[in-house]
Amino acid sequence: MAITAAAVKELRERTGAGMMDCKKALSETNGDVEAAVDLLRTKGLAAAQKKSSRTAAEGLVGVTVAGSKGVAVEVNSETDFVAKNEQFQDFVRNVTDAALELGNDDIEALLRAAYPGGGTVQETLTNNVATIGENQALRRMKTVAVSSGLVVPYIHNAVAPGMGKIGVLVALESTLGADVLEPLGKQIAMHIAAAFPLALDASGLDADTMERERSIAKEKAAESGKPDNIVEKMVDGAMAKFAKENALLSQIFVMDNKTPIAQVVEQAGKDAGAEIKLTEYVRFQLGEGIDKKEEDFAAEVAALT
């Protein structure tokens, strides 16, 4: 099949591999970008997998907290222009507040919830689509809470108070006050925004992701030509490294580049005189997992003429 320039560009951005290597990988995988990423990694031609998601969709992530409870909400739009619209930002702000009051992760219930000024969230969203002239969608929400302690919010590169492209919540269980928990939570939230953990600890890592990594590790280890028992140890070592680098509690703190997050939290509790537990976190990056259609302006003009 024909390999498009857009596919080569995407593969290069995701792997750091050379253009010819990307074209060859796409040819071998019939244009499947995900399979091409795995192929390049197996051959050792891809750089380490980037710790960022493809942010193809536009819109805003909103976060808000009330002491021991917090929520993150993502609302998508077609263009970044709409994300800067005051009407759209007001909607994100109000929906985030409504989600916090709702206290669960039921999108359908949130759409049915009352909206300030009258009507429901769904009715307001429908009206916004009509008046702004662009499709919008309430995509997802996540609530976190602690029985005692604090939920700390963070927005990376905020475009307005409480909303931006990346929203983070950190749940800290403790009897300590906000004077201790808030600055600690803020630092951990900044780490989460930068380091993109996949789970709180190794046990929470997605099974499909782990299987995919194991498959890649097996192929790379098999190419070493070493005995099967050594190959198996190489695979186990690679998987242990992957788990350590992608589980939040075992990640190395970006602020000092040497201390695991679990130890950072433990030491903060010792210094303050009471235990602190990092029980949960949320990291919403705008558009992660959504592929936006690549517009070919020249082709569009040609089609119109």
**What is the average pLDDT value for the chain, to the nearest integer?**
88
pLDDT of residue 63: 98
Average pLDDT (199-207) is: 95
Distance CA 234, CA 228 (A): 10
Sign of the alpha-carbon torsion through 283, 284, 290, 296: negative
- Please choose, from the candidates 39, 243, 66, 58, the residue with its C-alpha nearest in 3D space to the C-alpha of residue 139: 58
List for the chain the helix, strand, coil content (%; round to 5).
50, 20, 30
pLDDT of residue 37: 86
pLDDT of residue 301: 47
For residue 292, is pLDDT > 70? Answer: no
For residue 248, is pLDDT > 90? Answer: yes
Instruction: State residue 99 phi and psi, 5-degree precision.
Output: -65, -40
Distance CA 254, CA 24 (A): 36
Instruction: State residue 170 phi and psi, 5-degree precision.
Output: -125, 125
pLDDT of residue 173: 98
Average pLDDT (248-263) is: 96
Q: Identify whether the C-beta of residue 157 lies closer than 8 Å to the C-beta of residue 165.
A: yes
Average pLDDT (233-249) is: 94
Average pLDDT (100-123) is: 94
Average pLDDT (275-296) is: 82
Tens digit of pLDDT for each residue in 147-189?
999 999 999 989 999 999 999 999 999 999 999 999 999 999 9
Q: Which residues pair with 65 in a beta bridge?
A: 70
pLDDT of residue 64: 98
Q: Among 88-92, 174-178, 287-291, which is the least confidently predicted range?
A: 287-291
pLDDT of residue 299: 52
Average pLDDT (76-103) is: 93
- Please choose, from the candidates 90, 161, 159, the residue with its C-alpha nearest in 3D space to the C-alpha of residue 125: 90
| Sequence-ordered strand ranges (E) for the chain | 58-66, 69-77, 136-145, 149-156, 163-164, 166-174, 276-285
pLDDT of residue 163: 97
pLDDT of residue 44: 74
Q: pLDDT higher for 267 or 216?
A: 267
Local confidence band at 49 (pLDDT 50, 70, 90 cut-offs): low
Q: pLDDT higher for 54 or 138?
A: 138
For residue 25, is pLDDT > 80? Answer: yes
Distance CA 32, CA 36 (A): 6
pLDDT of residue 133: 83
Q: pLDDT higher for 49 or 55?
A: 49
The tokens describing 223, both together, are 């190419």
Prediction pTM value = 0.78
Average pLDDT (182-208) is: 96
List the domains of the chain with CATH numbers. 1-49 (1.10.8.10), 58-198+278-285 (3.30.479.20)
Q: Among 16-25, 49-58, 73-82, which is the least confidently predicted range?
A: 49-58
